[in-house]
Amino acid sequence: MIDQPLFHYALRLGDDSLILGQRLSEWCGHAAALEVDLSLTNIGLDLIGQATSALGYAGDLEGAGRDADGLAFHRDALDYENCLLVEQPNGDFGQTIARQFLFSNWHWLFLSALAASKDATLAAMAAKSVKEVSYHVEFANDWMVRLGDGTPESHQRLSAGLDWNWRFVEELFIGDDVDNEMVQRGIGVDKASLRAAYDARIIDVLNDANLPVPKKHRAITGGRRGHHSEHLGHLLSQMQFLQRAYPGASW
């Protein structure tokens, strides 16, 4: 019998990384400088690697013959359980950095806590991934300060990007039945418990960047239940094109 809560927990872990990794891949060859292009690509590759591990584990738990590739390329948008933040469009560089900043700081806190999971596989994946995400945080935080405390235009663009993405932050800390069972079993993370540390990290960087904390928005949620924005469907149409056009193709 499938351990449904654990399956969905691993799936969500993989979906977050997969979708954000795909988003960052869209910058490849389009960033403003070669160094930034390589940095965003490397972060995207880190996330795809993390997604491969988590989705592979989800496939093993499901026991239905779907591996990481099967779960990545043969599900519809309604079957994805990523948070809404990671599927938001890149926009300009400021919007991309704001999204990365908000997600990576949460991701680091979440993975640091997950490394103590009673599930040995999840704990090992988290312990490995948190080392990579430390760089993601450093990169995003540094660019927040450089753009926020830079020119009037960079400040304005970053502020707009931060305001766009801020309304999706609340979902990162809201648990549901899957989260609650995983916490009770000592496997998952109490996401609400991360909020104080997260807010402190965010405010500290915003102060350095001479940026105000965005005004509170009504929380927009639903990603964990498969209720996504229109942006995910467009993303998947590109990401899944080859597998959809040539089912079962191998290289």
Fold of 4-245: Ferritin (1.20.1260)
What is the DSSP code (8-state) at residue 95?
H
Nearest CA among 33, 11, 50 for reference residue 135: 50
Residue 107: pLDDT band with limits 50, 70, 90: very high
pLDDT, residue 105, reads: 98
pLDDT, residue 188, reads: 98
150-187 pLDDT tens trace = 999 999 999 999 999 999 999 999 999 999 999 999 99
Residue 218: pLDDT band with limits 50, 70, 90: confident
Residue 248 has pLDDT above 80, yes or no: no
109-154 pLDDT tens trace = 999 999 999 999 999 999 999 999 999 999 999 999 999 999 999 9
Q: What is the CA radius of gyration of the chain?
A: 18
pLDDT, residue 207, reads: 97
pLDDT, residue 37, reads: 87
Looking at every residue in the chain, the average pLDDT score rounds to 96
Residue 215 has pLDDT above 70, yes or no: yes
Nearest CA among 55, 31, 54, 52 for reference residue 41: 31
Mean pLDDT, residues 209-223 taken together: 91
C-alpha dihedral over 49, 40, 89, 227, to 10 degrees?
20
Amino acid symbol at 120: A
Q: How far apart are the C-alpha atoms of 174 and 152, rounded to whole Å? A: 35
% of the chain with per-residue pLDDT over 90: 89
Residue 94 has pLDDT above 70, yes or no: yes
pLDDT, residue 240, reads: 94
pTM of the model: 0.96
Amino acid symbol at 84: L
C-alpha dihedral over 166, 172, 177, 178, to 10 degrees?
140
pLDDT, residue 33, reads: 84
Domain residue ranges in the chain: 4-245
Residue 251 has pLDDT above 70, yes or no: no
Contacts 24+ apart (CB under 8 A), 176-181: 176/224, 176/225, 177/5, 178/5, 178/8, 178/9, 178/12, 178/224, 179/9, 181/5
Taking the mean position of all CA atoms in its chain, how far away is CA 82? Answer: 7
pLDDT, residue 249, reads: 74
